Every structure is written in C-alpha cells, then in structure tokens.
Amino acid sequence: MLLVLSAEHRAHLGCLPRAGGAAIGELGRLALEQLRRGAAPRACETAARKLNIGVDTIQHGVEGLVYLLTESSKLMISEVDFQDSIHVLGFSDEFNKSLLQLYLDNRKEIRSILGELAPRLPSYHSLEWRLDVQLASRSLRQQIKPAVTMKLYLNQNEDQTAQVLQTDPATLLHLIQQLEQALGEMKMNHCRRIVRNMK
C-alpha cells in the first residue's frame, strides 16, 4: 500500500534536502517531540541556528516529516512501500535510506503515541427496551401506532451513561438490516486486510 502525498506535503518534504542528510536525525527528533508534546517553536529556532538554515525551512521539514511518519505508521506500510512512497520526491538514495531508517526505528513508538491521542469512545454495556402501542386517541378511535423505546447504557472513562432512544418498528428493522449488511462486509477479504493493518 503506497502513501499518497499531497502537493503541500511534497513541498514541505522538499525542504528536507536543504537541511542536508546529516540533519535528518535532528529533524526526526524534532518531529517525534512534536508528536509527543506538540509544536515547539523554540526547538525549531535552536535547530535552525545549529544547522544554519531558515526557521521556516526547519518548520516545514518537521511538519512534512510528522505527516510522513504518522501516516506511514498508521498504515504500517512495509519497507518497500515506504521507499516507493518517498521515491516520487526525487531525493538521493542515501537520503531515502536515512528516511527509511527513521521510519523503521520509530514506527512502533509513533503508533503508541497515536493510540494515546485517539479519542476514547463510549462502549456498550447493556440495553433495555419496551414496545408501546397506541390503540386509540380522542380524535381517532381505532389506530395502531407502535413505538419501540430503548435505554442504551454506555461505559465511558469508568462512568456509565444512559441514552433513551425511540423509534418505530419499520425504522428499527431498516437499522438492523444496515448493521447486518455492515457486519457482512467486514467478513470480506478487503475489509479484513484493512482491519489487520490498523492493529
């Protein structure tokens, strides 16, 4: 699976050769620090003075590296795919090897950081439901109006919350069919490969 880079990301990564092959380690360190703690303008200024390069070049290079490393780590792309993805940038073979080594050395840590940054979504705990049927009203003596009321209990951050939902049986049946279709698609080989790469 190749990583497709936008024109903006290519331009940011295009700043890297100006820093030189020896600077890839310094820029990689800055990129990892940015992932761990957020943007650090002072660190970029220090690196710019140290490498005798403009601060904007350093910042763009770090942003490009952050994108390259995070997207590659998310997809867990192989060495060959990573090399093919950066080959379009037109860097020298030695520079490409430095980028590859940076990726291989740090992809597990990057995936760990990204896992910590992922939002904690609520998880299912239990469900209570009730079927109500209105048989008549003052204006209509004979009518059948069914409604399904559900109370959905969710766990989030050690707390339990409840959501009350109400729908008619036809909408509920449609929702069940859509969920069953989605579960069926998850059993397809293409989806299995995607899920395997996400882990």
Can you say how many angstroms the Cα of residue 173 is from the centroid of all Cα atoms in its chain? 32
Structure confidence at residue 41 (pLDDT): 78
Q: Assess whether 107 and 36 both reside in one domain.
A: yes
48 within 8 A of 58, measured Cβ to Cβ: yes
Count structural domains, the chain. 2
pLDDT band at 197 (very low <50, low <70, confident <90, very high): low
Q: Is residue 101 part of a domain?
A: yes
Q: Assess whether 111 and 41 both reside in one domain.
A: yes
Above 60 in pLDDT, residue 199? no
Q: Assess whether 144 and 190 both reside in one domain.
A: yes
Q: CB within 8 A of 116, min separation 6: which ones?
A: none
Proportion of the chain above pLDDT 90, given as a percent: 20
Greatest pairwise CA separation for the chain in angstroms: 87
Kindly report the pTM of this predicted structure. 0.58
Q: CB within 8 A of 142, min separation 6: which ones?
A: 135, 136
Q: Assess whether 19 and 98 both reside in one domain.
A: yes
pLDDT digits (tens, 9 = 90+) for 109-129: 888 888 877 777 888 899 999
Assign 99 to helix, strand or coil: helix
Between 16-25, 81-90, 97-106, the lowest mean confidence (pLDDT) is in 16-25
Assign 184 to helix, strand or coil: helix
Q: Assess whether 92 and 171 both reside in one domain.
A: no
Q: Assess whether 85 and 163 both reside in one domain.
A: no
Structure confidence at residue 14 (pLDDT): 75
Q: Is residue 1 part of a domain?
A: no
Using CB atoms within 10 Å of the CB of residue 72, give its burial: 0 to 12 exposed, 13 to 18 middle, 19+ buried. buried
pLDDT digits (tens, 9 = 90+) for 1-43: 666 677 777 777 777 766 666 677 788 888 888 888 887 778 8
Find residue 163's DSSP bridge partners. Answer: 152
Structure confidence at residue 168 (pLDDT): 93
Q: Assess whether 113 and 149 both reside in one domain.
A: no
The mean pLDDT value of the chain amounts to 82
Q: Assess whether 86 and 47 both reside in one domain.
A: yes
